[in-house]
Amino acid sequence: MKYLSILLLLFTSFAIADETQTNVSGSNTSIDGGYTSSATTTYQSGSSSNTTTNSTSNSNIKSAPPSAGAPSYNSMTQDVCAVGVSLGVQTFGIGISGGKHTIDKNCERLKLARILNDFGMKVAAVAILCQDERVFESMIQAGTPCPIDGKIGKDAKALWSKYDHERPDYTTYVKRMKDREKADLEAQKQMTKELEAMDKAKIKEEAKDKKKIEWKDPK
C-alpha cells in the first residue's frame, strides 16, 4: 500500500475547462474556451517530464426569428367594391406587417352605371362611364362624344373642344396633340423641301431650253 500511494502521488494530472452558453431571442451564441490540460511525471531517478495542452474554440451561430405573417383582409359582402390589401416585411432584427381595405373605383363606376341604366337614365349611365379615360377616348374615336353640361352630339363636341382641360384624358390628349403638331411640322418641312427641289429642277430645265434656242447672226 505504501508503494501504491507513492506512485499515485508521482503521477498527477489536472484539467480545467470553461464553457459559456448565451441564449438571445433570434440568435444562439455558444463560446467554449480556456481549456488547459497539464500532466507531470516524476521518475525514481529524479528526472521529470511536463506536458501542457491549451485549446480555445469560439463559435457564433445566428438564426432568423419567426417570419411576420401579413393579415388577411376580406370584403364582408358580395355587393361592395372594397379590396383587401396586406403586406409583411421580415428582417433579422424586426418584423412588421399590416393591412387595409381599398376601394375599386372602376367597380363602383360599373355598378352605378348599371343601376342608372336600369332606372332608364341611359345618358346619365353613359356620362358616369365616361369618367374613365379609356371610355372617353373610345367615344371620341367613335364620333359620339360624351355628354357634358346636358349637351350631346355636336354640341358636346364643341364644349369639350372649348373646355378641353376638363377631359378625363387631358394628359394623354395634350401629349397626342403635341405629337400631331410635331408630325405636321415634319410633314410641312418635307413638303417644302420637295417644292424647293422641284423649283430648282424647273429653273435648270428652263436654262437648258434657253441655251438651245440662242443663236448668233452669221457674219
Question: What is the residue extent of each domain of the chain?
Answer: 2-62, 105-172
pLDDT tens track for 163-215: 999 999 999 999 999 999 999 999 999 999 888 888 888 888 877 777 666 55
Task: Provide the 10 A C-beta neighbour count for residue 206.
Answer: 10
Global pTM value: 0.52
Of 208 and 217, more confident: 208
Query: Which of 93, 49, 47 has the alpha carbon at shortest distance from 68?
Result: 93
- The grid coordinates of residue 192 equal 417644302
- Provide the β-strand partners of residue 14: 38
